Structure 1
């Protein structure tokens, strides 16, 4: 696991949002190692001849699947909520893998068009935007992520959606929500703050047939 390096300059001008991203990076970093150890332990048990039949037991299978899902979700959260140096780049292939791993635990199918790389800020915004799409289509759907000029577009199709205008208002240039988002919906506020901080305006639409988000 690559250690998290925090430039001293970032602490001097740290806003509340930046501090929150540093905390998220620290938590995810510290959780990955024990989860990896559990996963390695499961693999050793599967290969061991001391416990016949254990490798194919439903109990060990459940533990293994749960550990893999947890490690995948922690990696996703670290990229989406963690500290993002302005000059760091991320391969689109890595973003694709994270998005598709997330979709396996949701009811979405995700396709990412294009290759190359993206800034870490763009990667954060894409993964947060995917969580917003998931909130809009909790009963399932298909999301296509593609470059759009100098930005990105997420287009979603679903047979049923859950419009929540109060949540999507967090993505406006000057949000005026009446209440704070619930923990399960905090990605809206984080994406809105990130977009404002980096001057990446967000446009969005949610209707009965799906949702769309661009920045």
Structure 2
């Protein structure tokens, strides 16, 4: 069972994402009404607002899983997982491929999403992230024209370097090992010049 600090932080994350998604959805509904009434239907300004709303919605959906609360009984469909990953990378230099079929435990998806964020951090010039599963567990692998994996953060995933006060944009490196340990999962992070990968044992 998660310690109270981790559980509380996850519940805060869930609450924030839940409360933010409603007003963004309302803005999108308003844009649709404007389009139906012909109010600037094809204007670049409305297109920009629509794209921004879609991007924000995708990020909130992703963050709600990655940083929110996940119980042992919750699951996610392959379609929901793939569509979230596709939406969150739309318009960026990053592409993600989810290859696991069927429904998955939300806790498994949470670990994979956090590992995805770690891999994304190692691709400053963009690239691709693949997420697949075999009998041994999950593998999240990043590749791109330039892989920049900060040794301290990746060593922390392997349990050989402390990370007491991570910067906000690297908080996923601190959270992933905590949640993995809570679920009795082992992590193995490896990096080289062309790729970086995180294995999450079943």
Same fold (TM over 0.5): yes
- The bucket for the TM-score relative to the shorter chain is over 0.9
Structure 1 residue 193: Cα displacement: 0.8
Matched ranges for 1:31-180 at <5 A = 31-49=20-38, 51=39, 54-173=40-159, 175-177=161-163, 179-180=164-165
For residue 197 of structure 1, what is the aligned residue in structure 2? 182
Q: How many residues align?
A: 200
Structure 1 residue 172: Cα displacement: 2.6
Q: Which moved more, 1:101-110 or 1:80-89?
A: 101-110
The counterpart of 1:186, out of the listed 156, 171, 183, is: 171
Contact 2:140 2:197 in 1 (8 A): yes
SS for the counterpart of 1:55 is coil
Contact 1:93 1:115 in 2 (8 A): no
Structure 1 residue 148: Cα displacement: 2.2
Q: Please, what TM-score do these two structures have when normalized by structure 1?
A: 0.87
CA distance, structure 2, for counterparts of residue 164 and residue 135 of structure 1 = 9
Q: Please, what TM-score do these two structures have when normalized by structure 2?
A: 0.93
CA distance, structure 2, for counterparts of residue 105 and residue 128 of structure 1 = 20
Matched, 1:207 2:200: no
Contact 2:126 2:144 in 1 (8 A): yes
SS for the counterpart of 1:104 is coil
Deviation string, structure 1 residues 59-106 (Cα, Å, up to 9, x no partner): 111111101111111111001110001121111221111122222254
Structure 1 residue 23: Cα displacement: 0.1
The counterpart of 2:17, out of the listed 19, 28, 35, is: 28
Deviation string, structure 1 residues 20-44 (Cα, Å, up to 9, x no partner): 0000000000111111000000111
Change (3 A) 1:92 1:28: same
CA distance, structure 1, for counterparts of residue 73 and residue 156 of structure 2 = 26
Over the aligned positions, Cα root-mean-square deviation in angstroms equals: 1.7
* Structure 2 segments unaligned to the other structure (5+ residues): none
